[in-house]
Structure 1
Amino acid sequence: MNTTQLGRVQLLIMQVLWENERATAREITDRINQSEPIAHSTVQTLLRGLEDKQAVDHETEGRTFTFFPLICEADFKQSATQDLLTRVFRGSVEGLVAHLLQSEDVSADELADLRKLINRQAKKKGS
């Protein structure tokens, strides 16, 4: 499956499943409704689409379907990041990071954390 082909709400559903490991459609709907309104029927439809994409599967418990992810969050992030890096920034990590630093409001704490990551990576590379 090309994991970067998830829509925004499909990604919200996946995030609920990654966090909880298993959830019913109602539990997913309730969780998403904590941050934005969504109809239960929409969640059910999107879950069927995610099953078609082989991103999730379900087990039946009585009349209730309990859904679980088939792809892990780390794999999704790796694939989505690589796709963005390749398609939008032509493989340039520097270009991606420069764009983020110039266009996003990065806090002083985040900058300090980024410096630490860069220094750690530089030590690994022997620079």
Structure 2
Amino acid sequence: MADRISDAEHAVMEVLWEESPLTAQDVAERIAPERAWSANTVKTLLGRLLAKQAIGHEADGRRYLYRPLIARDGYVAGESRRLMDRLFGGRLAPLVAHLAERDALTDDDIAEIEALLKDLKQ
């Protein structure tokens, strides 16, 4: 997938990753209500995602059913790597330090990181 997914398109992808295939109307009904998007807005976003080959569709009578063509795990891994590369020179330690300095890590987060590091060392 060459083109990046926008924040708005990502909201549509989250719905489709949760459940698919769905119609455009189904997606519109599942989008977070605070977005207050019309069905036309959702259809525009679906069209963009089709063009980017992030989703596929199949005819179901007079409507289309949409499904993701990219896995959420792969997308998240790519976005995480881009963030680290762009902001932290590709290194994880400065990212964790940045979060820790701003009290953005809870005790649970720290315990989870410690457990991950322990597993990695073994």
TM over 0.5: yes
Give the letter for the 1:108 counterpart.
D
Q: How many residues align?
A: 122
Greater relative contact order (Cα < 8 A, sep 6+) = 1
What is the distance in 2 between the residues matched to 1:90 and 1:19? 32
What is the distance in 1 between the residues matched to 2:102 and 2:39? 36
Give the letter for the 1:97 counterpart.
V
Q: Which residue of 2 aligns with 1:9?
A: 8
Q: Secondary structure at the match of 1:6?
A: coil
Q: Report % sequence identity.
A: 31
Q: Deviations over 1:8-42 (max 9, x none)?
A: 11001111111103211111111114453211111
What is the distance in 1 between the residues matched to 2:110 and 2:101? 12
Deviation at 1:104, TM superposition (A): 5.5
Q: Which residue of 2 aligns with 1:31?
A: 30
Q: Which residue of 1 aligns with 2:58?
A: 59
Deviation at 1:81, TM superposition (A): 1.0
Q: Which residue of 2 aligns with 1:93?
A: 92
1:40 aligns with 2:39: yes
The 10-residue stretch of structure 1 (87-96 or 101-110) with the greater mean CA deviation from structure 2: 101-110
Deviation at 1:101, TM superposition (A): 2.5
CA 1:39–1:103: 2 relative to 1, 3 Å: farther
Q: Secondary structure at the match of 1:23?
A: coil
TM-score, normalized by length of structure 2?
Answer: 0.90
CA RMSD of aligned residues (A): 1.6
Q: Secondary structure at the match of 2:53?
A: coil
CA 1:35–1:107: 2 relative to 1, 3 Å: farther
Give the letter for the 2:43 counterpart.
Q
